[in-house]
Amino acid sequence: MKKRKTAPSETNSGLNHILKYTGIFGLVQVLKMLMDIIRNKLSAKFLGPGGMGLLNIYSNATRLMSDSTNFGVAVSGVKHISEIQEEGNQEQLVEYACIVRSLSLLAGLFGMVLYLILSPSFSLWTFGSYENTWNYMLLTPIVCLLSMTGGEMAILKGTKQLMRITKISIYVALAMLAVFAPVLYFLERGGIIWALLLSHLVITFIYFFHSTKKIPYRVNLRSKALLKKGLPILRLGTGFIIAGLFSQGAEYLIRAIILQHGGEHDVGLYNSGYVIAVSYASIIFSAMDADYYPRLSGACKDTVRQNSIINKQIEALVLLISPFLIFFIIGMPVIIPILYTDEFTSCIPMSTFAMLYMFFRAFFIPVSYLALAHGDTKMFMMTELICAVMISLSIPFCYLHWGLTSTGMAISGCGLIEFSMIYLLYRQRYHFRFNTRHVTLYLIQFLLLALSIFIALTQTHWLRWCTGALLCAASLSMSLYVLSNESDVIERIRSKFSKKSHKER
Per-residue pLDDT reduced to its tens digit, 291-349: 677 778 778 888 998 999 899 889 888 998 999 999 999 999 998 988 888 889 999 99
Greater confidence, 3 or 279? 279
Per-residue pLDDT reduced to its tens digit, 204-214: 999 999 999 98
Q: What does the DSSP assignment read for 372-391? A: HHTT-HHHHHHHHHHHHHHH
Per-residue pLDDT reduced to its tens digit, 372-386: 888 787 888 889 889
How many whole angstroms separate alpha carbon 487 and alpha carbon 491? 8
Summarize the confidence of residues 465-487 as an average pLDDT: 89
pLDDT at 166: 80
pLDDT at 2: 41
pLDDT at 490 over 70: no
Greater confidence, 273 or 84? 273
Q: Write down the pTM of the prediction.
A: 0.79
What are the Cα distances from residue 478, in Å, to 11, 322, 357, 400, 448?
18, 10, 21, 40, 11
Q: How many C-beta atoms surround the C-beta of residue 494 within 10 A?
A: 12
In this structure, which amino acid lies at residue 441?
A: L
pLDDT at 410: 97
pLDDT at 376: 84
pLDDT at 81: 85
Tally of residues, the chain: 505
CB proximity list for 412: less than 8 A, separation 6 or greater:
353, 354, 355, 356, 357, 360
How many whole angstroms separate alpha carbon 494 and alpha carbon 475? 20
Q: What does the DSSP 8-state code read for residue 189?
A: G
- Positive or negative torsion for Cα 397, 403, 408, 413: negative
Q: What does the DSSP 8-state code read for residue 278?
A: I
Summarize the confidence of residues 386-406 as an average pLDDT: 94
